[in-house]
Amino acid sequence: MQILSNLLKNIKTITIIGDSSVEVSSIIIDSRVVTEGSMFVALKGTQVDGHTFIEKAIGLGAKSILCEDLPAVQAENITYIQVKDASETLGYVAAAFYGNPSAKLKLVGITGTNGKTTTVMLLFRLFRQLGYRCGLISTVQNQIDEEVIASTHTTPDAVSLNKLLAEMVQAGCTHAFMEVSSHSVVQHRITGVTFAGAIFSNITHDHLDFHGTFDNYIKAKKGFFDALPKTAFALINVDDRRGSVMVQNTKASIKTYSLETLATVKGRIVSDSIYGLQMEIDGREIHFQLIGTFNAYNLMAIYGAATLLGEDPDEVLVEMSGLKTAPGRFEQIVSIKDKKVGIVDYAHTPDALENVLKTIKQIKGDDQQVITVVGCGGNRDATKRPIMAKIACSLSNKVILTSDNPRKEDPLEILAQMQKGVPPIDFKKTKTIEDRKEAIFYAVNTLAQAGDIILVAGKGHETYQDIQGVKHDFDDRLVLKEAFGN
Ligand SMILES: CC(=O)N[C@H]1[C@@H](OP(=O)(O)OP(=O)(O)OC[C@H]2O[C@@H](n3ccc(=O)[nH]c3=O)[C@H](O)[C@@H]2O)O[C@H](CO)[C@@H](O)[C@@H]1O[C@H](C)C(=O)N[C@@H](C)C(=O)N[C@H](CCC(=O)O)C(=O)O
Ligand SMILES: Nc1ncnc2c1ncn2[C@@H]1O[C@H](COP(=O)(O)OP(=O)(O)OP(=O)(O)O)[C@@H](O)[C@H]1O
Ligand SMILES: N[C@H](CCC[C@H](N)C(=O)O)C(=O)O
Ligand SMILES: [Mg+2]
């Protein structure tokens, strides 16, 4: 319970109508879950305008309304707070409601098209190994020390986020690691959150459905760095050509990591094989269990963040050398019968798919064929569909195009768009099988010979296939095992 005026202390309002000493029992952005004493925040969304639910929220017990447009008729005994941007204001109000929990933690956020989940999960595991109680906010799951909480988004909405952070503080966590999606910056899910550090991994093609242009997508990610305080570090991958743009206007202390040029954290790959990466980082040579150049970048980011948070470099590297891959990220399953190698990877962007396939090419034996099973999500950036199909063809011996969460779209239409990217020369090695299970079985049992590699890309850790809004049980790893007869 909080007093409304305390929540509005540093907020610029247009008008406040009604009693500002009213108590606020909870902050709610969805009218359907309002309870007695809630503050209902009316947000203009991508589907509907939350302002149309104000009356309904009051009917369910809301006593204060945060909005951009005042309703023509105002109810009695209700306090209306009118602001210019309800979504931005919500960030500050939610942080205040939960006692600004982020400021009580060493919170590190990472943004970038790829590598966020891998980096935060590994940072979380590393800091636990170093003896700290930690929190994790990620696409795969959220965690408060040992307690696992299901995750619905890569970055939760402002209320859920601050609630989670407050629970972390309550549980005695000192550190927390979270993914910062571009959606979350634009929608102010992280507004009012204090970061001790921020990481930029890379930016490539994705989410153009939401941001409209690549420029807007860059601006969204940059917004995260623009808002950092002086006390934070901004750790940037300078091998990505947009790296320096990210920190053009930041107040944070700028640090860099690179495989190619001078940087705060300078790395070099000594060798990269099926057994892992041998790297030199900051002049120290060390072996890691992760595979692939893209993971060399993730490892430098983790090392950089840990040392910038004050940890001892040698101890950090020793602990890091034992870290295993995150679920569904280059996860390998080998058939007991004939040693076919299944690789489940969350590559759902052109860049990720290319990286994973290049890594496989680099570490595989000459006699191993690569068979790729891949699809593209429905109600998501359609422009990546032909590009991903083309990449799959250019770096695999055989390709099966299949479904990956068609959501509300027609799966055959998504597949037709993917097929447009297949060069005529590759028609013969490409097959389309709408049903993902059938596609994996066909790859394993009809196409693959003993020892071949089957990359199943796009779903990683996911345990469902979303068809027409219904989530059916589906796990690439389990289907692969079934097809292998393991
Ligand atoms: C496109 C997008 O980001 N949508 C998010 C956004 O919803 P929206 O703007 O569409 O909301 P809306 O449905 O138009 O509703 C507007 C407002 O009316 C309210 N409402 C609605 C109906 C009602 O009866 N009563 C009511 O009060 C809603 O609660 C909302 O506050 O705000 C919602 C609440 O925070 C999110 O759940 C929702 O995520 C949807 C489910 C989603 O799929 N988001 C994906 C694209 C996403 O956020 N992905 C990123 C990045 C992924 C990555 O690359 O890692 C992520 O961070 O997860
Ligand atoms: N640093 C990296 N650079 C490029 N590709 C990467 C990198 N790290 C991982 N990948 C590839 O991208 C896929 C997704 O990785 P990860 O889940 O860590 O990214 P993410 O940024 O969390 O993605 P999302 O936006 O969907 O949450 C991996 O399965 C792998 O194929
Ligand atoms: N965070 C990403 C995940 C995509 C995963 C892929 N399996 C799909 O469903 O498109 C998104 O929501 O766009
Ligand atoms: Mg993620």
Q: φ and ψ at 454, to 5 degrees?
A: -115, 110
C-beta 405 within 6 A of ligand 3: yes
Q: What is the pLDDT of residues 279-334, one digit of tens each?
A: 999 999 999 999 999 999 999 999 999 999 999 999 999 999 999 998 999 999 99
Ligand nearest to the CA of 158: 1
Q: What is 2-84's CATH number?
A: 3.40.1390.10
Distance from the alpha carbon of residue 150 to the mean position of ligand 2, in angstroms? 19
Q: What is the 3-state secondary structure (H, E, C) of the chain?
A: CEEHHHHCCCCCCCEEECCCCCEECEEECCHHHCCCCEEEECCECCCCEHHHHHHHHHHCCCCEEEECCCCCCCCCCCEEEECCCHHHHHHHHHHHHCCCHHHHCEEEEEECCCCHHHHHHHHHHHHHHCCCCEEEECCCEEEECCEEEECCCCCCCHHHHHHHHHHHHHCCCCEEEEECCHHHHHCCCCCCCCCCEEEECCCCCCCHHHHCCHHHHHHHHHHHHHCCCCCCEEEEECCCCCHHHHCCCCCCEEEEEECCCCCCEEEEEEEEECCEEEEEECCEEEEECCCCHHHHHHHHHHHHHHHHCCCCHHHHHHHHCCCCCCCCCCEEEECCCCCCEEEEECCCCHHHHHHHHHHHHHHCCCCCCEEEEECCCCCCCCCHHHHHHHHHHHHCCEEEECCCCCECCCHHHHHHHHHCCCCHHHHHHEEECCCHHHHHHHHHHHHCCCCCEEEEECCCCCCEEEECCEEEECCHHHHHHHHHCC
Tell the residue number behind the tokens 């909480």, with chain if given.
Answer: 149
The pLDDT of residue 341: 95
Q: How confident is the model at residue 387 (pLDDT cuts 50, 70, 90)?
A: very high
Probe residue for ligand 2, chosen from 118, 123, 241, 302 as the CB with the greatest number of ligand atoms within 8 Å: 118
358 lines ligand 1 (CB under 6 A): no
pLDDT score recorded for residue 271:
93
Is the pLDDT reported for residue 205 higher than 80?
A: no
pLDDT tens-place string over residues 121-147: 999 999 999 999 999 999 999 999 999
Question: For residue 273, with 0-12 CB atoms within 10 Å meaning exposed, 13-18 middle and 19 or more buried, which class applies?
Answer: exposed
101-320 shares its CATH topology with 331-484: no
Whether 38 is in the pocket of ligand 1, judged by its Cβ within 6 Å, is no
Is the CB of 257 inside a 6 Å radius of any atom of ligand 2? no
The reply, when asked if residue 405 is annotated as ligand binding, is: yes
Q: What residues contact 419, with CB distance under 8 A and at least 6 apart?
A: 386, 389, 401, 430, 432
- pLDDT reported for residue 10: 86
325 C-beta closer than 6 A to ligand 2: no
- The proportion of the chain whose per-residue pLDDT surpasses 90, expressed as a percent, equals 92
Distance (Å, rounded) from C-alpha 165 to C-alpha 89? 18
For CA atoms 296, 298, 302, 307, the dihedral sign is positive
Query: Is a pLDDT exceeding 80 seen at residue 208?
Result: no
CATH number of 331-484: 3.90.190.20
CATH superfamily of 101-320: Mur-like, catalytic domain (3.40.1190.10)
Pocket residue to mutate for ligand 1, from 39, 41, 46, 408, most atoms within 8 A of Cβ: 46
What pLDDT digit, counting tens, does each position of 331-373 carry? 999 999 999 999 999 999 999 999 999 999 988 989 999 999 9
Report the alpha-carbon distance of residue 97 to residue 398 in Å, rounded: 54
For the cut 80, the answer to whether the pLDDT of residue 171 exceeds it is yes
Neighbours of ion ligand 4 (CB under 5 A): 116-117, 139, 154
| 204 touches ligand 1 (CB under 6 Å) | no
Domain positions in the chain:
2-84, 101-320, 331-484
Q: Provide the CA 21 distance to its chain's centre, in angstroms.
A: 39
Separation in Å, CA 388 to CA 183, 313, 375, 418, 462 = 22, 39, 8, 7, 19
Please write the tens of the pLDDT for every residue from 184-193. 999 999 999 9
Atom of ligand 2 nearest to the CA of 346: 29
Task: Provide the percentage of residues in the chain whose pLDDT is more than 70.
Answer: 99
Ligand nearest to the CA of 352: 2
Task: Give Cβ neighbours of residue 17 (< 8 Å, ≥ 6 apart).
Answer: 70, 74, 79, 80, 82
Q: What is the ipTM of this complex?
A: 0.95
Beta-carbon contacts of residue 472 (< 8 Å; ≥ 6 apart)? 464, 465, 466
Mean residue pLDDT of the chain comes to: 95
Mean pLDDT (whole number) for 407-434: 97
Report how far residue 217's alpha carbon sits from residue 349's, in angstroms, rounded to the nearest whole number.
14
Where does the pLDDT of residue 44 fall: very low under 50, low under 70, confident under 90, or very high at 90 and above?
very high
Among 256, 253, 216, 251, smallest CA distance to 236 is for 256
145 Cα: distance to centroid of ligand 3 (angstroms): 26
